[in-house]
Structure 1
Amino acid sequence: MKMKKIFLTSAVALALLSSCNNDYDGQDIAGTKLAVSASIDQVNTRLSDSGSEWTEGDAIGVSDNLSNPNLNIKYVAGSAMGDFTSTTGIYILGNEEVTYTAYYPYAGNEGASAGELQFKIVDESGKYAGHNAVDFMYATGTATRSNPKVAFVFKHQMSKVSLNITDSNAPATKAETPVSYTLQGVIIDGTFNTGTGEITPGSTKGNVKVDAVLGTASSIILPPVAAGNAAEPIQLVIEVGDKIYAGSLTPALDASQEYKYSVDLSKTESGENLQIDSPTIDGWTPNDEGNIDVEEEVNYNPTLEVGDFLCKDGTTIDKDYDLVQLDETVKASIIGVVYYVGNPQPSVLYEYEDAVDALKRDYPLCTKGLAVAISNAQEAADRFATAKYNYSDWFKAEGNQVAESYIGSALNLTSVFDHILGYNNTRVMELAVADVNDNTLTGAENFMSILTQYRENNVVAGTSVWYLPSYAELKLMQDNYAVVSASMAKVGASLPQYTEFASANNEAFYWSSDLRGNSYNWVSPLADVPEDTNLFVGRTSSSLKGYFRFTLAF
């Protein structure tokens, strides 16, 4: 499916104010008038389902971040090309860069923040209020006195549900047949923060009715689901003449996303439940900017969850997606399963300085979560090291500036450490082994060769490199075991639990990257063990074997 991503780039010409002097830092200097242009970063406009331009007279509110701020200055579109002018205007003084915010549609009075706008998506009769009333948009931009052009790129803050109701058995002459549909039990109110762009859904549920035409797509803009909550199913009732159809929709209702449903009434008898397929999900506000007439990739995963699949190209697939429908190339690219959702960087999760956060330092954009490989790094159990592997002295060595730039919590003698530090620990191991000046290190050739080979054979785009998880990360896999293992099974993989760990001479477990002193590693069987069971084994003992199951941040 080809989709055009339209970006309006015209800007109003620069206007200099030569006759107005403003007092700044004790000197009279000329102010420069802010020149405003605006585009809508979107596939479909807020004005209609087919248009792509502003309408002359559309108004936005612009504010700046100065100590004596310009607040809610009204700028009006002079044409469909996105050039905006103001009767009041904003003037830039000084040489500092100024940050501006803008929102749509304009409300309130100039000179006073519009604050939070309350809204309802229905009118008094219960019908949809229309896109113009509830399509809230927000943008930020910067300008300076020497370059006073601010080009806002507005993003939709609400969610959108579109329906194309057809009847393939209906004759062509009935293509213009009126049809109405009602979404039942949706949130119909909320607030829009004009200063931050944030939408806060209300608590009032109701019904929204829309009049449409058979065979022509129409849409409703709804409040997005609040962070941390899951969208509830929406009941759909369709009326065509004296016939009534019913079913349910399950859009995720993420901000800036459009959920497109096609409903063919010929497949259902009046009074029966509609059979409604999963929606096509488009970036109503695409994340990639500047591309024109590009083919949109299929979005297999609108909302990231534990159990979702990670592919070699860095994309994810929903854990509940029917993998049979996938192209074989896409299916074959699945390389990991998500076991943690959220920013995994230690300085974000714990009280660490950014300077020692190796993951944030090396991969600052890997903030979505963690994924575990769908297979072990080696077929047979193996020892952690072929010879003595001791970097605790190296790590603690006074004046070791390299080691001091990492979080030094990989060594814990008394209990397993509960911090996500796998990448940090693995990097310290690599650095310690590479430190040829330290005579106490005789290498860990077995582990390092396995790690290096696995990284070379399993490259993933847009993620960190593979690393050995910490015990806390293995514990996350254990806590989410039912979901993670179910996803593994869907791609013919497995993540065995070793419930016999306590009685099997410690030969069934996964190595962690947390060390217990110079000679032992903390390990995990991914299963509960008796309270008095030691969760550590000697790294160099030939009788103690474990598996390497690598993980990565993305």
Structure 2
Amino acid sequence: MKKNNIIAIAAIALTFTACSNDNDFTTNNEGKDTPISLSVGVGELSVVTRAENTATLADGELGLYITKNEEKNVIGKYLCNNAKFTASTTDTRTSWTCNTTYYWASDNATINYFAYFPFQGTEGTAATSLPWDTSTQTGVVDGGYDPLDLLYVNGSATNTASDHGINITLGHVCSKLVVNVSKLGSEIAEGKTISSIKIGGLKAKGNFYLFADSNNGHNAGSWVPDVNSADINMKSITANTVIPATYEAILIPQTAPFTLTIRLSDNSEYQLAVPSQAFAAGTCYTLTIQVGQDKVNLGSITQTDWVTKDGGPLNAQ
């Protein structure tokens, strides 16, 4: 699987007018009403979610909340609810724009921010959590990113004389499963193709919490998978489906046993039962499978957290 460290950096000068509500900020100094600038990156994490694509945040949309003590419903020129920033790339440079300018309330003012990518919901409307559905794996879109690969970060920023910006470093909050399929010796004829690989037994839908939900005990940046499981059809990431081939799926983090159903072009079908596996946020799991005439050998699974991390064996029952 190809890995690239892609940094999508953009300095943003927000250029349009905003509301005049000061939201109880009362300072009057040189730093007051200084426009907030924004830089967006993906740190040391790879945004690549398909083997033959180099992903960036180009042509995507980022959602941003600027809050005071997580007061999501208070907005104005100093605070925002689900503001939409649109990215575009020209001559290898990514620029971001928003329809509203947001300002620092004072020198040394500190704000809380919650940012995610790609944008969801309605601009200007606050939401505690995002519904997420991985049952249909779409793969990389024209902008070079997978819309199921949710990126997120929350933190705080302080206005200083030398830096009026919010430096946002996003991280992957979904999990990813990659399945590499090869032939078992000469048992499979040359040119045989895979029709589909289906995951069973996992939760395909869930909610990701942008903010803490103290009433229900959910932390900011946490997942709550649905109660019911659903089939997930994996996406081919090789140029064709002739064995050897590689398939991939973005998953909601969870711990559960699951099955893999592999259907070949001659309608032969193999099913593997895998013991309980923890799929952690920001982690990629790579599973190797050998397909024979009437059997499938399941190899080990390795895991990386989009840097490098050794994993242990995973055996089928």
Residues 498-537 of structure 1: pairs in structure 2 closer than 5 A:
none
Instruction: Tell me which amino acid in the other structure corresponds to 1:8.
Output: I
Query: 1:119·1:190 contact (CA, 8 Å) conserved in 2?
Result: yes
Of the three residues 260, 267, 272, the one matched with 1:247 is: 272
Q: Does residue 112 of the first structure (1) align with residue 138 of the second (2)?
A: no
Q: Does residue 276 of the first structure (1) align with residue 298 of the second (2)?
A: yes
2:11 corresponds to which residue? 12
1:48 corresponds to which residue? 50
1:221 corresponds to which residue? 250
2:102 corresponds to which residue? 90
Cα deviation, residue 15, structure 1: 6.7
2:83 corresponds to which residue? 73
Query: 1:22·1:31 contact (CA, 8 Å) conserved in 2?
Result: no
Q: CA RMSD in A?
A: 3.6
Q: Does residue 25 of the first structure (1) align with residue 49 of the second (2)?
A: no
- Partner SS, residue 280 of structure 1: strand
Of the three residues 204, 210, 218, the one matched with 2:234 is: 210
**Following the alignment from structure 1 to structure 2, what is the Cα–Cα distance between the partners of residues 165 and 4?**
19
- Partner SS, residue 203 of structure 1: coil
Q: Does residue 184 of the first structure (1) align with residue 213 of the second (2)?
A: no
Counting helix residues as a fraction of each chain, which structure ranks higher?
1
Of the three residues 128, 132, 135, the one matched with 2:149 is: 135
Query: 2:187·2:293 contact (CA, 8 Å) conserved in 1?
Result: no
Query: 1:12·1:35 contact (CA, 8 Å) conserved in 2?
Result: yes
How many pairs were matched up? 278
**Following the alignment from structure 2 to structure 1, what is the Cα–Cα distance between the partners of residues 110 and 34?**
13
Q: Percent identity among equivalent residues? A: 19
Query: 2:153·2:168 contact (CA, 8 Å) conserved in 1?
Result: yes
Show structure 1 runs of 5+ residues with no match: 226-230, 287-295, 301-319, 323-554
**Following the alignment from structure 1 to structure 2, what is the Cα–Cα distance between the partners of residues 133 and 7?**
16
> Residues 187 and 156 from structure 1, CA distance in 2 versus in 1: closer, same or farther, beyond 3 angstroms?
same
Of the three residues 209, 224, 234, the one matched with 2:258 is: 234
The Cα offsets for residues 361-398 of structure 1, whole Å up to 9 and x where unpaired, read as xxxxxxxxxxxxxxxxxxxxxxxxxxxxxxxxxxxxxx
Query: 1:16·1:32 contact (CA, 8 Å) conserved in 2?
Result: no
> Residues 194 and 83 from structure 1, CA distance in 2 versus in 1: closer, same or farther, beyond 3 angstroms?
farther
2:214 corresponds to which residue? none
2:216 corresponds to which residue? none
The Cα offsets for residues 271-296 of structure 1, whole Å up to 9 and x where unpaired, read as x3x22122111113x4xxxxxxxxx3
**Following the alignment from structure 1 to structure 2, what is the Cα–Cα distance between the partners of residues 32 and 103?**
24
**Following the alignment from structure 2 to structure 1, what is the Cα–Cα distance between the partners of residues 232 and 314?**
29
> Residues 43 and 166 from structure 1, CA distance in 2 versus in 1: closer, same or farther, beyond 3 angstroms?
farther
Q: Does residue 260 of the first structure (1) align with residue 286 of the second (2)?
A: yes
The Cα offsets for residues 179-227 of structure 1, whole Å up to 9 and x where unpaired, read as 41111111111112233222211111121223532333221111111xx
Query: 2:45·2:172 contact (CA, 8 Å) conserved in 1?
Result: no
Query: 1:261·1:277 contact (CA, 8 Å) conserved in 2?
Result: yes
Query: 1:63·1:71 contact (CA, 8 Å) conserved in 2?
Result: yes
Q: Does residue 144 of the first structure (1) align with residue 144 of the second (2)?
A: no
> Residues 224 and 115 from structure 1, CA distance in 2 versus in 1: closer, same or farther, beyond 3 angstroms?
same
TM-score, normalised to structure 2, is 0.73
Cα deviation, residue 28, structure 1: 8.1
TM-score, normalised to structure 1, is 0.44
Query: 2:15·2:100 contact (CA, 8 Å) conserved in 1?
Result: no
Of the three residues 100, 107, 115, the one matched with 1:102 is: 115
- Partner SS, residue 153 of structure 2: strand
**Following the alignment from structure 1 to structure 2, what is the Cα–Cα distance between the partners of residues 81 and 198?**
33
Higher relative contact order (CA 8 A, sep 6+): 2
**Following the alignment from structure 2 to structure 1, what is the Cα–Cα distance between the partners of residues 15 and 132?**
39
> Residues 187 and 102 from structure 1, CA distance in 2 versus in 1: closer, same or farther, beyond 3 angstroms?
same
Instruction: Tell me which amino acid in the other structure corresponds to 1:222.
Output: L
**Following the alignment from structure 1 to structure 2, what is the Cα–Cα distance between the partners of residues 170 and 211?**
25
**Following the alignment from structure 2 to structure 1, what is the Cα–Cα distance between the partners of residues 48 and 173?**
11
Cα deviation, residue 238, structure 1: 0.7
**Following the alignment from structure 2 to structure 1, what is the Cα–Cα distance between the partners of residues 56 and 245?**
23
1:363 corresponds to which residue? none
> Residues 321 and 53 from structure 1, CA distance in 2 versus in 1: closer, same or farther, beyond 3 angstroms?
closer
Cα deviation, residue 37, structure 1: 2.3
The Cα offsets for residues 405-443 of structure 1, whole Å up to 9 and x where unpaired, read as xxxxxxxxxxxxxxxxxxxxxxxxxxxxxxxxxxxxxxx
**Following the alignment from structure 1 to structure 2, what is the Cα–Cα distance between the partners of residues 5 and 256?**
15
Cα deviation, residue 5, structure 1: 5.8
Cα deviation, residue 109, structure 1: 2.5
Counting strand residues as a fraction of each chain, which structure ranks higher?
2
> Residues 297 and 253 from structure 1, CA distance in 2 versus in 1: closer, same or farther, beyond 3 angstroms?
closer
Show structure 2 runs of 5+ residues with no match: 141-145, 212-219
Highest CA radius of gyration, 1 or 2?
1
The Cα offsets for residues 435-494 of structure 1, whole Å up to 9 and x where unpaired, read as xxxxxxxxxxxxxxxxxxxxxxxxxxxxxxxxxxxxxxxxxxxxxxxxxxxxxxxxxxxx
**Following the alignment from structure 1 to structure 2, what is the Cα–Cα distance between the partners of residues 44 and 297?**
14
- Partner SS, residue 278 of structure 1: strand
1:174 corresponds to which residue? 191
**Following the alignment from structure 1 to structure 2, what is the Cα–Cα distance between the partners of residues 130 and 4?**
16
- Partner SS, residue 288 of structure 2: strand
Cα deviation, residue 10, structure 1: 3.0
